[in-house]
Amino acid sequence: MKILVCISQVPDTTTKIAFSDNNTTFNTQGVTMIINPYDEWYSLVRALELTEAGTAATVNLVTVGKADAEPVIRKALALGGDEAIRIDTDSNDPYVVAAQIAAYAKSENYDLVLCGKESIDYNNGVVGGMLAEMLDMNYIGFATKIDVAGNEVTVAREIEGGEEVDTCAFPVVISCQKGVAEARIPNMRGIMAARTKPLKVVAPADVQPLSQIVSYEMPPAKTGVKLISADNMDELVSLLHTEAKVI
């Protein structure tokens, strides 16, 4: 079985966010970039587990990004995988990202394509579904468990108020979330091996974005907290009515 794992580069969650160019551009100066956790901790690790179990023969990694994304894809290689592919373009439009990956993957005959349920920067959560449509593959989203037997995959996924279990024939695209696998940390052997593993750079397809970001804005600053005595319920009710306007 041949697996492709989609990797995206995102800002570290501890990063102090700032914008430039009249709030139209995310300012990356001084920002530490990491692998999107849903891609790293769940999609990639589950792909590696399938390899270790003898179910998968090949695991490739793909990212859409410029040269500054290479340290992130190298870190992903340090966890495992046979080869990385960087599609040499950058976009925050999910359609463009999906189309670029699809353009590369169409001729590679992957049986299973794994991606995180969303990236933690834009939280769109739509690349997996778009990619499945473009590749003419089945799609199962928000997986919490993935098991492979023969030519079928069984996927558990969260739904409103419970869990759903689906079976599907290959090829298939699956987006992953917490529960699919346990996070791993690259070891020294993996880090050294990643330096010599192939990282192929491919030219981007001619894809026009369907959306553009007009502007960014920071969330409103947190206001002060008023402490009300537990014996003064009348004041609490009054404030909820006149200031918070929630009752």
> Cα–Cα distance between 245 and 247 in angstroms, integer?
6
Q: Which tokens belong to 159?
A: 């739904």
* Average pLDDT for the chain: 92
Residue 29 has pLDDT above 80, yes or no: yes
Q: Which residues contact 179 (CB under 8 A, 6 or more apart)?
A: 42, 144, 145, 156
All domains in the chain, ordered by first residue: 2-218 (3.40.50.620)
- pLDDT for position 143: 96
Q: For the residues 156-179, what does the mean pLDDT come to?
A: 94
For 107-135, how does the pLDDT look when each residue is reduced to its tens digit (9 = 90+)? 999 999 999 999 999 999 999 999 999 99
State yes or no: cis peptide before 198, omega within 30 of 0: no
The arithmetic mean of pLDDT across residues 32-43, rounded, is 94
Per residue in 38-94, pLDDT tens?
999 999 999 999 999 988 789 999 999 999 999 999 999 999 989 999 999 999 999
Task: Annotate the chain with three-state secondary structure.
Answer: CEEEEECCEEECCCCCCCEECCCCEECCCCCCEEECHHHHHHHHHHHHHHHHCCCCCEEEEEEECCHHHHHHHHHHHHHCCCEEEEECCCCCCHHHHHHHHHHHHCCCCCCEEEEECCCCCCCCCCHHHHHHHHHCCEEEEEEEEEEEECCEEEEEEEECCEEEEEEEECCEEEEECCCCCCCCCCCHHHHHHHCCCCEEEECCCCCCCCCCCCCCCCCCCCCCCCCCCCCCHHHHHHHHHHCCCCC
Residue 176 · residue 50 · CB < 8 Å: no
Residue 140 in tokens: 């199962």
pLDDT of residue 188: 82
What pLDDT score was predicted for residue 30?
Answer: 87
Other beta carbons within 10 Å of 93: 17
Beta-sheet pairing, 199-202 with 83-87: parallel
Average of per-residue pLDDT across 232-246: 88
Q: Give the pLDDT mean for 236-247.
A: 88
Contacts of 101 (CB under 8 A, 6+ apart): 4, 6, 62, 64, 87, 127, 131
Q: What is the predicted pLDDT for the residue at 182?
A: 87
Please tell me the pTM assigned to this model.
0.86
What pLDDT shows up at residue 138? 96
Distance of alpha carbon 207 from alpha carbon 209, whole angstroms: 7
pLDDT in tens, 174-195: 999 999 998 888 888 888 888 8
